């Protein structure tokens, strides 16, 4: 049994960052998350775009990817590298510390065991900060982020949704969310919606 891995379910699938990439030895796709996932958080670094986070109510387990880490990497080292990737400070040397209860802005690292032939899995977890997410709200937030600087950097909500769908992620809100983006932009595809939103930015 492999000893340590990271369970990826969002942008981490395509973009683990340099620090993690150098210690990944294998990728195991199609691993169902042991928790539900949903678009219930806005990301400050994505100009308010909705992002996927674990939820205790609502959402659904999704097909994630296990990033298998090389032997000899400690769990703390893996958590530190994951933490720096998630706060967009790769290489800065910061270490992960578990946040206080009730702190909605700090990243948490969850832990699961004996999944997909991996003894220990860690994963990024942020708290929900959209109280009552609806497709209409998610669509508006995604479009606004695409009009902002995040759109120019390819880090907006529409691009995030496109990537999630391409990776086989499906959640209860996703279809309605997609339809709202198309309705609000007057388009027939997410690619066209992204183009229109960026042009309007």
Give me the residue spans of the domains in the chain: 2-200
By the 8 A CB rule, do 177 and 137 touch? Answer: no
What pLDDT is recorded for position 48?
97
**CA neighbor of 109 nearest in space, from 99, 119, 118, 122:** 122
Answer yes or no: are the C-beta atoms of 48 and 145 closer than 8 Å. yes
| β-strand partners of 65 | 8, 29
Residue 117: pLDDT band with limits 50, 70, 90: very high
pLDDT at 105: 78
Q: Looking at the DSSP assignment, which residues form a beta bridge with residue 31?
A: 64
The C-alpha atoms of residue 142 and residue 155 are separated, in whole angstroms, by 10
Query: What's the confidence (pLDDT) of residue 16?
Result: 97
pLDDT at 169 over 90: yes
Measured between alpha carbons, how far is 104 from 182 in angstroms, rounded to an integer? 31
**C-beta separation of 18 from 90 below 8 A:** yes
Alpha-carbon distances, residue 160 vs 22, 111, 153 (angstroms): 24, 24, 12
pLDDT at 2 over 90: no
Would the pLDDT of 9 be above 90?
A: yes
> 20-46 pLDDT, tens per residue?
999 999 999 999 999 999 999 999 999
pLDDT of residue 106: 87
Helices (H), the chain: 18-21, 75-86, 135-147, 149-153, 157-166, 174-185, 190-200
Dist. CA 67–CA 59, nearest whole Å: 23
Residue with tokens 């958590």: 79
């Amino acid at each position: 049994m492999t000893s340590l891995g990271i369970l990826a379910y969002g942008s981490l699938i395509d973009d683990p960052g340099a620090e993690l990439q150098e210690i990944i030895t294998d990728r195991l796709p199609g691993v169902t998350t042991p928790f539900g996932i949903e678009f219930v958080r806005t990301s400050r670094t994505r100009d308010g775009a909705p992002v996927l986070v674990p939820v205790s109510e609502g959402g659904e387990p999704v097909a994630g990817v296990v990033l298998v880490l090389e032997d000899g990497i400690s769990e703390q080292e893996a958590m530190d590298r994951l933490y720096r990737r998630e706060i967009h400070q790769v290489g800065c040397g910061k270490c992960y510390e578990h946040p206080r209860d009730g702190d909605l802005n700090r990243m948490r690292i969850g832990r699961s065991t004996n999944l997909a032939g991996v003894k220990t899995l860690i994963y990024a977890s942020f708290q929900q900060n959209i109280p009552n997410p609806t497709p209409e709200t998610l669509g508006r937030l995604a479009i606004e982020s695409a009009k902002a600087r995040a759109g120019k950097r390819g880090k907006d909500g529409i691009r995030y949704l496109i990537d999630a769908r391409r990776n086989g992620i499906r959640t209860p809100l996703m279809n309605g969310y997609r339809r709202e983006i198309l309705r609000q932009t007057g388009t027939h595809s997410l690619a066209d919606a992204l183009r229109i939103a960026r042009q309007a930015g």
